[in-house]
Amino acid sequence: MSRAGIVTTDISTGRRHLPDAPFLAAARGERPARRPVWFMRQAGRSLPEYREVRKDTGMLEACLTPDLACEITLQPVRRYGVDAAILFSDIVVPLKAAGVGVDIVAGTGPVVEEPVRSAADVAALPVLDAEGVAPVAEAVRLLVRELAETPLIGFAGAPFTLASYLVEGGPSRNHERTKALMHAEPDTWHALCSALADTTLTFLRAQVAAGVDAVQLFDSWAGALSERDYRELVMPHSARVLAGLADAGVPRIHFGVGTGELLGAMGEAGADVVGVDWRIPLDVAACRVPPGTALQGNLDPALLFAGPDVVEREVRRILAEGATAEGHVFNLGHGVLPETDPDALARVVDLVHGTP
Ligand X SMILES: Cc1c2[nH]c(c1CCC(=O)O)Cc1[nH]c(c(CCC(=O)O)c1C)Cc1[nH]c(c(CCC(=O)O)c1C)Cc1[nH]c(c(C)c1CCC(=O)O)C2
Is residue 333 a contact residue for ligand X (CB under 6 A)? no
Is residue 107 a contact residue for ligand X (CB under 6 A)? yes
Is residue 56 a contact residue for ligand X (CB under 6 A)? no
Q: How far apart are CA 214 and CA 54, in angstroms?
A: 26
Is residue 91 a contact residue for ligand X (CB under 6 A)? yes
Instruction: Assign 328 to helix, strand or coil.
Output: strand
Is residue 166 a contact residue for ligand X (CB under 6 A)? no
Count of helix runs (H) and strand runs (E) in the chain: 16, 11
Report angle CA 319, 323, 327 to the nearest 5 degrees: 110
- Least Cα distance to 206 among 157, 140, 141, 137 occurs for 137
- Least Cα distance to 36 among 166, 209, 214 occurs for 214
Write down the least CB distance from residue 313 to ligand X, Å: 25
Write down the least CB distance from residue 220 to ligand X, Å: 3
| Binding string, residues 294-323; x marks residues near ligand X by CB under 6 A | ------------------------------
Write down the least CB distance from residue 257 to ligand X, Å: 6
Residue by residue, DSSP assigns 295-318 as: EEEEE-GGGGGS-HHHHHHHHHHH
Is residue 167 a contact residue for ligand X (CB under 6 A)? no
Is residue 342 a contact residue for ligand X (CB under 6 A)? no
Cis peptide before 331 (omega within 30 of 0): no
Q: How far apart are CA 207 and CA 284, in angstroms?
A: 33
Give yes or no for a contact between 331 and 39, defined as CB atoms under 8 angstroms apart: yes
- Least Cα distance to 194 among 155, 223, 237, 228 occurs for 237
What one-letter code names the amino acid at 153?
I
Closest CB to ligand X among 12 and 174? Answer: 174
Give yes or no for a contact between 117 and 167, defined as CB atoms under 8 angstroms apart: yes
Q: How far apart are CA 277 and CA 300, in angstroms?
A: 7
90 in a known ligand binding site:
yes
Is residue 86 a contact residue for ligand X (CB under 6 A)? yes
Is residue 110 a contact residue for ligand X (CB under 6 A)? yes
Is residue 218 a contact residue for ligand X (CB under 6 A)? yes
Stretch that binds ligand X, among 100-108, 134-142, 224-232, 290-298 (CB under 6 A): 100-108
Write down the least CB distance from residue 97 to ligand X, Å: 15
Q: How far apart are CA 221 and CA 218, in angstroms?
A: 9
What one-letter code names the amino acid at 182?
M
Is residue 168 a contact residue for ligand X (CB under 6 A)? no
Q: Which residues are catalytic?
A: 41, 45, 54, 90, 165
Stretch that binds ligand X, among 11-19, 107-115, 193-201, 287-295 (CB under 6 A): 107-115
26, 150, 152, 155: which one binds ligand X (CB under 6 A):
155
75, 202, 220, 259: which one binds ligand X (CB under 6 A):
220
24, 59, 77, 345: which one binds ligand X (CB under 6 A):
59
| Binding string, residues 20-49; x marks residues near ligand X by CB under 6 A | --------------------xxxxxx----
320 in a known ligand binding site:
no
334 in a known ligand binding site:
yes
Is residue 109 a contact residue for ligand X (CB under 6 A)? yes
- Percentages of the chain per state (helix, strand, coil), in multiples of 5: 50, 10, 40
41 in a known ligand binding site:
yes
Residue 81, C-beta contacts closer than 8 angstroms, at least 6 positions apart: 349, 353
Stretch that binds ligand X, among 104-112, 120-128, 197-205, 291-299 (CB under 6 A): 104-112
| Residues in contact with ligand X by the rule CB under 6 A | 40-45, 54, 59, 86, 88, 90-91, 104, 106-110, 155, 171, 218, 220, 335
Task: Specify binding-site residues for substrate.
Answer: 41-45, 90, 165, 220, 334
